[in-house]
């Protein structure tokens, strides 16, 4: 899926590879761009560092094991995989594409960078990798924001909306 912009992620990862020689970069999912992305990973010097794991049913388990969840989309509705990372409690680095800022409560938060900017994304990733306190802050903010998107919270919001929209005497 081109809109996920894994190329920006790979270019950001290549900027971090020498500083973090033991880091592995995982890409889950399958699609027609895989050969192109594998070629880019080789060109960026990431052979053996980027693992293309294909389709995996245990996506949440991989997310929970991550030191950092990176979401490099150029276009995005809401980003349910990103929401999962927030709720699970994994620090995140993402772009301001589409509805992603809504997950964070606005575009002016340290977790977000401009889409298509590997240097900015790498700097964003580095902030978490170099500063455990920053990672902990992101986890706390993410969990707080993630609760707003829980099934219960969304059901309550819909109920309040319907109550406002229904004419008097028709409210449940």
Beta carbons of 78 and 97 less than 8 angstroms apart:
no
- What pLDDT, on a 0 to 100 scale, did the predictor assign at position 107? 66
Q: What percentage of the chain exceeds 70 in pLDDT?
A: 97
Q: Could you tell me the domains of the chain?
A: 2-147 (3.40.50.2000)
Residue 171 pLDDT > 70, yes or no? no
pLDDT for 14: 98
Mean of all residue pLDDT scores within the chain: 91
Query: Average pLDDT of 24-43?
Result: 96
Residues 6+ apart with CB under 8 A from 105: 145
Tens of pLDDT, residues 91-127: 999 999 999 998 888 767 878 999 999 999 999 999 9
Element (H, E) at 111: none
Residue 115 vs residue 152, higher pLDDT = 115
- Compute the Cα dihedral for 39, 40, 41, 43 and give only its sign: positive
pLDDT score, position 26: 96
pTM of the model: 0.86
Tens of pLDDT, residues 61-97:
999 999 999 999 998 888 889 999 999 999 999 999 9
- pLDDT at res. 156: 80
| pLDDT above 80 (res 12) | yes
């Amino acid at each position: 899926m081109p809109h996920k912009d894994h190329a920006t992620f790979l270019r950001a990862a290549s900027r971090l590879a020498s500083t973090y020689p033991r880091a592995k970069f995982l890409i889950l999912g399958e699609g027609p761009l895989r050969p192109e992305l594998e070629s880019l990973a080789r060109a960026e010097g990431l052979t053996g560092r980027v693992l293309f794991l294909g389709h995996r049913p245990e996506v949440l388990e991989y997310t929970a094991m991550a030191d950092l969840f990176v979401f490099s989309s150029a276009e995005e509705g809401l980003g349910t995989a990103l929401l999962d990372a927030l709720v699970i409690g994994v620090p995140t680095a993402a772009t301001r594409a589409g509805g992603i800022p809504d997950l964070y409560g606005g575009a002016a938060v340290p977790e977000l960078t401009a889409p298509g900017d590997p240097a900015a994304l790498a700097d964003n990733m580095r902030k978490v990798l170099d500063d455990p306190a920053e990672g902990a802050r992101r986890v706390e903010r993410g969990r707080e924001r993630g609760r707003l998107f829980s099934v219960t919270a969304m059901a309550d919001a819909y109920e309040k909306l319907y109550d406002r929209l229904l004419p008097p005497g028709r409210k449940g």
